[in-house]
């Protein structure tokens, strides 16, 4: 089995647990809170520290930090790489602390700028929520650096698993401390998020220490200069998806009550397969590309990743598009979540799902370009995608409401993918032509069979859909299925050895 497939499935296993709890979190939210002013404000304000985390930590982490750290480790040894990591930790801690104090004193101005559609009552509530939630950025940004360190060491499970604590604390907050008062819920959400961030930072930091990390208080390191060379174009490009979501947030603030929640719940189901596999594959490929800069393994790895990505993401797209309404109805329609909410969320989910393959492929192409030294391509691609998404948001939201925001995101992802592919070195890509033709035929059969099953029980359809897809992969002889089977066998053997 390929190292890429093995590491991706390791990461996916950790992410799978976290994503299941994420779905449980949304189940609890919809039951107790529905699509309400409390959920609208929480989702809208929580997206702000999440956006900045992507901008400051994960965007830089995935490319600048991993690329330069791998380079220093090869040339100067583990000790010098640790000094660079320490310096990066110090600067991220300083930047996020400054941002926290800015938000603390000027949160109302941030809310008015980022959520211009809110009326005064919602502005005051959002300001209160943001002050409680924003300290999360300090914990999660530092955690992201430790995650990157562990990824370099080949440890993918814990970084993928660690977000589970955010879901656990938020679920506990709603179940045990639910309050009818919307303002009080802001404090409950904030304390839960801060505790989750603290636990995540402690566990990842402890694991990094066990894997060889040693902190040294040296705020400056020559490697930082090179990191900022990656950072300047890379931060904006890597965070393009988050910037687009922030733009979606701005437009969604003009939707009626529940609109922001509809967008969030619909996007949550799409994020489930995207996080389990799409993000996992991109995370695994980042150190792989960094270790194979400008050699033939780089192109071969990209082709392998393209194939794996397609085999997983296309059936997820087909299933979510066809069954979005019954899935939403089954998962969420109870308590304070109404049938009208199900209709709205299902429309959002179906249109987001059409872009699933493009979202995951874009995440895959970013580390490829950075490792190839072509930082300008993701930067200009991000600008292009942002402009397209903003224009489409304005037009489609007027025509379609919340669902229009999802369709705009899908269209912009498709166009940005076309832009990126124009600059990819396609040497060896000839083999992908036959692969995609064969896979298109398989997908056609899969769509027809799922439509035939549409009137059956949903749980039966989920089981049958998985079985049918595996059979089709076997019939069409796709080698990617062998990677998955080999990992399952390996895990079963490991369990037997432990019992022995």
Query: Which residues, in sequence order, are CB contacts of 370 under 8 Å at separation 6+?
Result: 63, 64, 67, 230, 234, 289, 378
Q: How far, in Å, CA of 145 to CA of 111, rounded?
A: 28
Q: Is the pLDDT of residue 398 over 90?
A: no
What pLDDT is recorded for position 494?
A: 42
- How do residues 40-91 score in pLDDT, each as one tens digit? 888 888 888 877 666 655 555 556 666 676 666 666 666 777 777 788 888 8
Angle at 322 between CA 316 and CA 328, to 5 degrees: 85
Q: Is the pLDDT of residue 311 over 70?
A: yes
| 51: its two tokens | 């956006």
Per DSSP, the three-state class of 159 is: helix
Q: Is the pLDDT of residue 488 over 70?
A: no
Query: Would you list the DSSP string of 457-485?
Result: -HHHHHHHHHHHHHHHHHHTT-THHHHHH
| 199: its two tokens | 């636990």
- Asked if residue 18 lies in contact with residue 500, where contact means CB atoms within 8 angstroms, the answer is no
**What is the CA 78 to chain-centroid distance, rounded?**
30
Q: Is the pLDDT of residue 351 over 90?
A: yes
What pLDDT is recorded for position 8?
A: 56
What pLDDT is recorded for position 491?
A: 45
- How do residues 182-238 score in pLDDT, each as one tens digit? 888 888 988 998 898 888 889 888 888 887 777 777 777 766 666 666 555 555 555
Taking the alpha carbons at both ends of the chain, their separation in whole angstroms is 25
Q: How far, in Å, CA of 162 to CA of 151, rounded?
A: 13
- How do residues 227-275 score in pLDDT, each as one tens digit? 666 555 555 555 565 676 677 778 888 887 778 888 888 888 888 788 7
- How do residues 142-168 score in pLDDT, each as one tens digit? 887 787 777 777 666 677 677 788 888
- How do residues 406-424 score in pLDDT, each as one tens digit? 999 899 889 999 998 888 8
35 or 225: which leads in pLDDT: 35
| pLDDT band at residue 353 under the 50/70/90 scheme | very high
- Percent residues over pLDDT 70 in the chain: 80
Q: Is the pLDDT of residue 39 over 60?
A: yes
Q: How far, in Å, CA of 466 to CA of 17, rounded?
A: 19
156 or 117: which leads in pLDDT: 117
What pLDDT is recorded for position 340?
A: 86
296 or 233: which leads in pLDDT: 296
Q: Is the pLDDT of residue 380 over 90?
A: no
Q: Is 45 left (phi over 0), alpha (psi -120 to 50) or beta?
A: alpha
- Asked if residue 471 lies in contact with residue 445, where contact means CB atoms within 8 angstroms, the answer is no
88-102, 281-295, 450-464, range with the lowest pLDDT: 281-295
Q: At what angle do helices 480-499 and 296-332 cross, to 10 degrees?
A: 80
- Asked if residue 413 lies in contact with residue 361, where contact means CB atoms within 8 angstroms, the answer is no
| pLDDT band at residue 357 under the 50/70/90 scheme | very high
Q: How far, in Å, CA of 262 to CA of 252, rounded?
A: 10
């Amino acid at each position: 089995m390929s190292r890429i497939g093995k590491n991706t499935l390791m990461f996916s296993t950790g992410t799978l647990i976290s994503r299941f709890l994420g779905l449980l979190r949304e189940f609890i939210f919809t039951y107790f809170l529905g699509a309400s002013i409390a959920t609208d404000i929480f989702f809208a304000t929580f997206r702000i520290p999440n956006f900045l985390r992507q901008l400051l930590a994960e965007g830089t982490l995935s490319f600048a930090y991993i690329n330069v750290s791998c380079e220093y480790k090869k040339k100067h040894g583990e000790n010098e790489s640790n000094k660079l990591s320490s310096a990066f930790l110090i600067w991220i801690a300083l930047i996020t602390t400054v941002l926290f104090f800015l938000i603390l004193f000027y949160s109302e101005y941030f809310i008015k700028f980022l959520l211009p559609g809110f009326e005064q009552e919602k502005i005051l509530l959002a300001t209160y929520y943001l002050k409680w939630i924003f300290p999360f950025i300090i914990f999660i940004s530092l955690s992201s650096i430790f995650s990157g360190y562990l990824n370099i060491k080949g440890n993918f499970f814990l970084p993928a698993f660690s977000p589970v604590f955010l879901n656990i604390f938020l679920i506990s907050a709603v179940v045990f401390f639910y309050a009818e008062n919307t303002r009080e819920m802001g404090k409950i959400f904030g304390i839960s998020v801060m505790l989750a961030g603290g636990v995540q930072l402690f566990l990842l930091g402890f694991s990094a220490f066990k894997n060889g990390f040693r902190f040294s208080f040296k705020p400056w390191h020559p490697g930082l200069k090179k990191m900022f060379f990656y950072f300047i174009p890379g931060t904006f490009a890597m965070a393009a998806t988050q910037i687009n979501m922030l733009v979606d947030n701005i437009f969604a603030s003009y939707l009626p009550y529940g609109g922001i929640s509809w967008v969030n719940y619909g996007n949550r189901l799409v994020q489930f397969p995207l996080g389990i596999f799409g993000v996992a594959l991109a995370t695994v490929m980042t150190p792989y590309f960094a270790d194979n800069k400008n050699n033939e393994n780089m192109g071969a790895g990209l082709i392998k990743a393209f194939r794996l990505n397609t085999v997983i993401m296309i059936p997820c797209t087909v299933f979510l598009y066809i069954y979005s309404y019954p899935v939403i109805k089954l998962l969420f329609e109870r308590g304070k979540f109404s049938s009208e909410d199900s209709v709205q969320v299902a429309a959002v989910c179906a249109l987001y799902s059409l872009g699933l393959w493009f979202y995951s492929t874009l995440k895959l192409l970013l580390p490829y370009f950075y490792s190839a030294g072509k930082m300008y391509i993701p930067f200009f691609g991000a600008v292009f995608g942002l402009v397209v998404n903003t224009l489409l948001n304005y037009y489609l939201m007027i025509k379609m409401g919340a669902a229009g925001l999802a369709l705009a995101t899908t269209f912009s992802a498709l166009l940005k993918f076309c832009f990126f592919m124009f600059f990819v070195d396609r040497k060896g890509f000839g083999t992908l032509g036959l692969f995609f033709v064969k896979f298109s035929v398989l997908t056609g059969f899969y769509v027809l069979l799922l439509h035939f099953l549409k009137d059956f029980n949903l749980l039966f359809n989920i089981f049958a859909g998985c079985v049918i897809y595996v059979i089709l992969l076997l019939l069409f002889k796709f080698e990617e299925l062998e990677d998955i089977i080999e990992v399952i066998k390996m895990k079963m053997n490991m369990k037997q050895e432990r019992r022995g």
